[in-house]
Amino acid sequence: MSEQILTAEIRTEKGKGCARKLRREGKVPGIYYIHGKEPIPFTVNANILSKTLASKPTLLSLELNNGKKHEAIIREVQRDPVTSVVQHIDLLGVVRGEKITVTVPVHLVGVPKGIKAGGILEHIAKELPIECLPKDLPQFLEVDVSDLELGHSLHVRDLHFEHFKILAYDDVAIANVSLPKAAIAAEAAEAAAEAAKEEEVKVEEQEKKPEE
């Protein structure tokens, strides 16, 4: 688990006009949610936020200018579709000792055995939902695919982690090793040619029978 401190100021102004003004001033609007309490709008320095996001924290300690601190996870980051500059951030408050449900990325490690047999690795599930305590929240799920043979797949049921539970169905595929499409097409063409040849032989044999 990696935790970062994010200092911010409580925001009193709202609306699109206010948001545009804040961005011109080098600030990013955001909002902090937690179950059962009023959300807290805030603003954060754009440069500080960019550095914080670059470290890919699993937990944030939101420190507001009223002296209060709130533990949170990143719920959503909205970016400009052209420049990728952060436009808004949503934080979801967490309580130590209470489990949370989040979606985390899946990272594949290792070189599958099936690669040596001419296969290619396909990463199917890029992220998975998990349930865990805030202190056990991983930055990502590391999945070893070294033993994956050609034609085989790795599923959720094959994964085992100690401190959190994967909420996806057991038969959800994480990765597989298969032949390239070109090789599959070549095999299909070869099989079709072989079948056609066998059919041709059968026809020739049938045509010869009356003469005998």
Q: What is the pLDDT of residues 30-57, one digit of tens each?
A: 999 988 889 999 999 999 999 999 988 8
CB 61 within 8 A of CB 2: no
Q: Which pLDDT score, from 0 to 100, does residue 13 have?
A: 75
CB 1 within 8 A of CB 22: no
Reported as a single tens digit per residue, the pLDDT across 160-172 is 999 999 999 999 9
Spatial separation of the C-alpha atoms in residues 22 and 15, rounded to whole Å: 11
Spatial separation of the C-alpha atoms in residues 192 and 173, rounded to whole Å: 30
Name residue 69's amino acid: K
Q: Residue 149 carries which DSSP code?
A: P
Q: What are phi and psi of 22, to 5 degrees?
A: -65, -40
| DSSP-based helix, strand, coil % in the chain, nearest 5 | 25, 40, 35
Reported as a single tens digit per residue, the pLDDT across 107-150 is 999 999 999 888 999 999 999 999 999 889 888 999 999 999 99
CA 132 to chain centre: 17
User: With a threshold of 0.85, does the pTM exceed it?
Assistant: no
CATH of domain 101-181: 2.170.120.20
CATH of domain 3-94: 2.40.240.10
For CA atoms 63, 64, 70, 73, the dihedral sign is negative
**CATH 2.170.120.20 domain span(s) along the chain:** 101-181
